Each structure stands twice: as structure tokens, then as C-alpha cells.
Amino acid sequence: MNLDIAASIVNGTFHNSRDLEGKYLTFVLGREEYAFEIKKVMEIIGIMDVTRVPKAPKFIKGVINLRGKVIPIVDLRTKFRMHTIDYTKETCIVVVETSEMVVGVIVDSVSEVIDINMEDIESSPAFGEEIDVRYILGMAKVNDEVKILINIDKVLSQDELEISGHKS
């Protein structure tokens, strides 16, 4: 067993590429393309006014009322410690269902739905302690590009929402 695989098993970041094979929604943050498993995506909506929540962490932009259901909105740029930018007509909210809740995530733009085969997926490289790879399922090689596969269940946990005083 190679040391990277052993370390990823210990850290809870190991994923069998066969389990990751399937359809993904790709989206852009900055210059990079990321992807969520399509089965987690409920819908994509345009950016809208968000009701701010006092004392919430910076990455929680607030909440919206989506057809009678209040859902938290997370800015992935802030969550991933990227610089903020003004929203554009391409900016949108991807409503996803994690293992614990429904949440909306703000992305710069949505690209497409793609099929990713297991032979195109590699585990995320060890970046050292500076980069938190808990959010990364793996790296997919698609048409000479790399898409970062995001583990949406770990991007925002129920515990983080409870700490901020809000439950969905």
C-alpha cells in the first residue's frame, strides 16, 4: 500500500474511484473548475437577495426563502478562503442536498454536466498541513483539464450551522 493511500485512509479522505464514477455538475470559482456529484444537486437558481444572519460565520451569507423553505446560503469563495468578487449575471446558487441538510452554495458560474469514469479519477495529492483536503473527493482528468471533485457533505456540516445558531 502506498503511503499517500495509507495517509488518506487514516485522515478519512480515501475514496475508491469506483464509488466516485458518475455524473457531475461542473462549476467555476476563480480560474478553477470544480464539480459536485449531480445526485446531490436539487436545482440551480440565479443569485438573489440573501437575508443576513447576525453572528454567523463569514462564509454563511445568510438564508433565503425558497418556495416556503428557509435554507442557509454559503459562499464557497469565502469558505475556501478565496478573494471575494462582485456577483455577475453568471453568479448563481446551486441548491444541494448533503447527508445532513439542504443548503445553497454560491458559485461564480455553472459549466456543464459531465460523465466521469473511474479511470479518470485520482486521489487528491498530499498538499501538507496548509491545505485542507477534507473537502476534496479526488481529481478528475477530463479533456486535458483537471476538475476538483468536491465532497459537499464535508464542505458544510450541520455542526457548523449549529455553532452559528441556525439549523435547517
How far is the C-alpha of 125 from the C-alpha of 83, rounded, in Å? 23
Distances (CA, A) of 99 to 58, 141, 155, 163: 23, 26, 11, 18
CATH code of the domain made up of 3-163: 2.40.50.180
**pLDDT confidence band for 5 (50 / 70 / 90):** very low
**pLDDT tens-digit readout, 113-150:** 999 998 999 887 665 555 567 788 899 998 889 999 99
pLDDT band at 47 (very low <50, low <70, confident <90, very high): very high
For the question of whether the overall pTM of this predicted structure is more than 0.85, the answer is no
Mapped onto helix, strand or coil, the DSSP state of residue 53 is coil
Asked if residue 24 has pLDDT above 80, the reply is: yes
Model pLDDT, residue 81: 87
CA distance 138 to 15: 8
pLDDT in tens, 75-110: 999 998 899 999 999 999 999 998 888 999 999 999
Q: pLDDT for 144-162, tens place per residue?
A: 899 999 998 888 765 555 5
**pLDDT higher than threshold 90 for residue 22:** yes
CB 148 within 8 A of CB 127: no
* pLDDT range class, residue 9, cuts 50, 70, 90: very low
Whole-number pLDDT of residue 18: 55
Domain ranges within the chain, ordered by starting residue: 3-163
Question: Looking at the predicted structure, is the pLDDT value of residue 53 above 50?
Answer: yes
Higher pLDDT: 8 or 64? It is 64
DSSP tag of 165: T
Output the pLDDT for position 157: 67
Asked whether the predicted pLDDT for residue 62 surpasses 90, the reply is yes
